[in-house]
Amino acid sequence: MDERPAWRVLFGVVRPHRRAVVGGGLLALVGGLAGLLEPLAAKAVVDALGRGGSLWGPIGVLTLVVLGGAVIATTGAYLLERTAESVVRAARERLIGRLLRLRVGEVDRLKPGDLMSRVTSDTTLLRAVAGQGLVDGVNGAVVLLGAIVLMGFMDPVLLGATVAVLVVVAASMALVLPRLARANERAQAAVGDMGSVLERALGAFRTVKASGAEARETAAAGEAAGRAWKHGVERARWEAVSGMSAWLSVQIAFLVVLGVGGARVAAGDMPVSSLIAFLLYLFYLTFPIAQVAEAATAWQAGLAAVRRMREVEVLPLESPEGGVVAGAAASVSLRDVRFGYGDAPVLRGVSLEVPSGGMTAFVGPSGAGKSTVFGLLERFYEAEDGVVAVDGVDVRRWPLAELRGAIGYVEQDAPILAGSLRDNLRYAAPEADDEEIMAVLARTRLDGLVEALPDGLDTRVGHRGTTLSGGQRQRVAIARALLRRPRLLLLDEATSQLDAANEAALKEVVDDLARTTTVLVIAHRLSTVTGADRIVVLEAGEVRAVGSHEELLEVDELYRDLAAVQFAADRNAGV
């Protein structure tokens, strides 16, 4: 776990861009220092007026200082903003890379909407840190110090009055900043919670509509938005107090200087031109003081963002080492495997041997642990005890990319990604050509679908494949897995949404694959796996029986009950 303070992590985010930050900061500093010459040039104009001399020289110098300082400061500001965008981009790319390499178990317990908020809104706050939080803060402090030094040369008495006011304001800022930091963190967390609520509703959009739950989901999102508003208002309040303190300090100092300075001019202790220049410096202080105050605000927001980003960055990652290795059908073995989700045990000492090649089916009641076995084979999760092995090697000793490259996996809900049909089919095998794609489509009876689509393989399938039927999505997922030419094929209820004709055709494909590939199938419809080489009956996380369909009908009561219910249902449905 990264134990570094948040401020060191924040510096680490900016460090790769330090040259651009320093370059832009120096330009901004030169522009700010040029502003310090403006009151002196104005004093020269006033003195020239008093002597009755020519104004062209002093006004020319003043114009040059103003325009030159503006150009230099603008250039520095652009360079800093450009660098700040680069900082945000690098942080997003790093965070996205980590999110996609998180272990499945970690993602299961987190909220996707909150994770997206950390990538989008939290990283955006780093933009202000790279500009205001570092460079503007330092430059503002330098310019502020320079102005104070020049004011001291003009009149130490007026400087003393000014500094007294600034010290009081600095003390008030020290009290405000910790409260601002806490408000920032709460506000950002509230935005993440709001994103999670909305993501839940959008992720089940059709269910929301079909259930007439729009009002309830709107209310839930409204409550989350209300919490975000509450914390946002709290943050705004402390930001307002911070900004007001900076503005008020200059106004109070102006009144003090005007009173004290006017008395000194009246007493002949200082010329009126010096008072004017001092007042100009005082007004000029508004900008660097505001820079320092905004920098402190941006710094607190950036620290809060870094803390939230680091919560993701310290989570355990999967190792992407290894590559796809071709080979013959793989064997599978489980030896006294135990696993649970949290405190709920799922597998209770499962032992099983599956030789290479052939089809093995897993059946049993819901919650028996069938899908969990697949998750352990893919190393989405790791067994708490026992050994899960492929080709006799513990899956924890396999290079992860090599292990998953040997496995084709079709999930129960057959997810389809937004994009073209071609993109979805090649998702697990990006090097596959159209000839290979069409061969797989023919095996899964999708060639007719491609011919009917307006743009063939390049047709967009919509968000989560909404333009395809449930059966089509399932066959696309199967075709995607087959295109990878796996040594081990995992089918989790892969035929649940197919009609009888397509199910029979796909069964022929799977039977053919089983001659050269090890196929593991989870099935609730026993009619699809009666011809399997072996059927594993799971109940309450334990292997109850293993055998062929005929053997299990004779020796296992649970299997007989499952078969009787299933076949009766099929007869009633006319299957």
Span 178-231, pLDDT tens digits: 777 777 778 777 877 787 777 777 766 666 776 677 888 888 888 888 888 888
- Name the pairing type of β-strands 344-354 and 332-341: antiparallel
Q: What's the rounded Cα separation, in Å, for the pair 95 and 477? A: 28
| pTM greater than the 0.85 cutoff | no
Nearest to 503 by CA among 480, 522, 485, 529: 529
489's CB contacts (< 8 A; 6+ apart) are 407, 408, 409, 410, 481, 482, 510, 513, 517, 518, 519, 520
Rounded distance between C-alpha atoms, residue 147 and residue 141, angstroms = 10
- Which tops the pLDDT comparison, 292 or 55? 292
Q: How far apart are CA 390 and CA 100, in angstroms?
A: 25
- The pLDDT value given to residue 123: 79
Contact 271, 265 (CB under 8 A): yes
Structural Rg of the chain based on CA atoms: 35
Q: What percent of the chain has pLDDT over 70?
A: 84
Residue 15, φ and ψ in degrees, nearest 5: -55, -40
Written as six digits, the tokens of 464 are 């989560």
- Between helix 18-51 and helix 272-284 the angle, nearest 10°, is 160
Question: Taking a C-beta distance cutoff of 8 angstroms, is the pair 346, 309 a contact?
Answer: no
When pLDDT is cut at 50, 70 and 90, the band that residue 427 belongs to is confident
Q: What is the pLDDT of residues 273-294, one digit of tens each?
A: 777 777 777 777 777 777 777 7
Residue 187 Cα distances to 181, 191, 304, angstroms: 10, 6, 10
pLDDT tens digits, one per residue of 143-191 = 777 777 777 777 788 878 777 777 777 777 777 777 777 777 787 778 7
User: Nearest CA to 256 among 266, 245, 248?
Assistant: 248
d(CA 121, CA 425): 33
Q: What's the pLDDT band for 58 if we cut at 50, 70, 90?
A: low
Which residue in 300, 296, 301 sits closest to 122, CA to CA?
301
Rounded Cα distance, 348 and 339, in Å:
7
What's the rounded Cα separation, in Å, for the pair 373 and 23? 57
The two structure tokens encoding residue 22: 């320093």
Angle at 108 between CA 103 and CA 112, to 5 degrees: 100
Pick 202 or 459 by higher pLDDT.
Answer: 459
Show Cβ contacts of residue 120 under 8 Å, excluding neighbours closer than 6 positions.
none
Q: Quick one: which of 243, 279, 291 has its CA closest to 162?
A: 279
- Share above pLDDT 90 across residues of the chain, in percent, rounded to a whole number: 14
- Position 376 scores a pLDDT of 94
Q: Which two tokens stand for residue 458?
A: 């390049």
Q: Highest-confidence range of 18-27, 320-329, 488-497, by mean pLDDT?
A: 488-497
Would the pLDDT of 491 be above 80?
yes
pLDDT (tens digit, 9 = 90+) per residue, 70-115? Answer: 787 778 777 777 787 888 888 888 888 888 888 888 877 777 777 7
Say what the pLDDT of residue 1 is: 45
Q: Is the pLDDT of residue 372 over 90?
A: yes
